[in-house]
Homo-oligomer: A and B are copies of this chain.
Amino acid sequence: MSLAMRTFSSFIFDLDGVLYLGSTPIRGAAEALCELGRRNCRIFFLTNNATKTRGQYRKKLAAMGIDAKKKHIYTSAYGTAKYLVQEKIRKVFVVGEAGLKREIRGAGVRICTGEEADAVVVGLDRKFDYKKLAHAASAIRNGALFIATNTDATLPLENGFAPGAGAMVEAAATASGKRPEVIIGKPQTFLIEDILDENDFQKREVAFVGDRLDTDMLASNKLGIFSFCVLTGSTDKHSASRARGLYKPGKIIKSVEEVLKYAKEATD
């Protein structure tokens, strides 16, 4: 079936670069999501960012006029907490911010100093310092499982880029001599599979809307889920058109508003 005739009943939206940039909403995003809701499409939110809890994201989206239920928001912090529980890991040393720590503690996992840790979780930490790096590297060297919330090199802001979780992960990998054994965020498929499993989605009814070739498109293509690449974030038209293989978008669209063309019609 050609894309022109294809519609989707469920959408997973990446956040940064798709619905907003930093704290600036993308024009038309709230209206588009509202219209999707009116057509009874199911809407999910997915971000690699591990610095906020799901509750904090709900508030951030609400302030932009987007109504999101907490249970429809998937973050790499939430995914990490879930992974720790699933693997029965009880004590972790965390390089990360308050949101990540709250998700982990909320799942019943203890946050400890490096020495007794069964795992080391490394995410974006804007209070990252040499001491935390030394503790993380030493615990990993002593056998703790090395988990990265994500490996994004940068954090896109309105006026440029700040270092992302990937910079902290590379510092820990270099100092410990080991690569991360588990990565929760995209381009790994853990979080998207989690959405599919928890909500009994068929792959063919769902589309992913993202802005990055090396995370969003790659993860979608690995899973065989249709992907839209918007041009409001990290990727320009030229790069998006030239992408090949698993990096190639299903469809390049200007912005999130255009997904309406591919959503089912209003049912009421």
Contact = CB atoms under 8 A, between A and B. Distances in A.
A111 B167 CA distance: 24
Contacts of A125: 130
A120 interface: no
A23 interface: no
A86 to B, nearest CB: 28
Interface stretch (A1-9, A34-42, A131-139, A238-246): A131-139
Given A125-B130, A126-B130, A128-B129, A161 B141 contact: yes
A162 B162 CA distance: 26
A133 B128 contact: yes
A98 interface: no
Given A154-B175, A167-B171, A170-B170, 13 more contacts: A127-B130, A129-B129, A133-B163, A133-B167, A137-B167, A141-B161, A153-B174, A166-B175, A167-B174, A170-B171, A170-B173, A170-B174, A171-B171
Interface of A: 125-130, 133-134, 137-138, 141, 153-154, 160-164, 166-175, 177
Q: Please give me the 3 A-B residue pairs with the lowest Cβ-Cβ distance, nearest first.
A: A163-B175, A167-B175, A171-B171
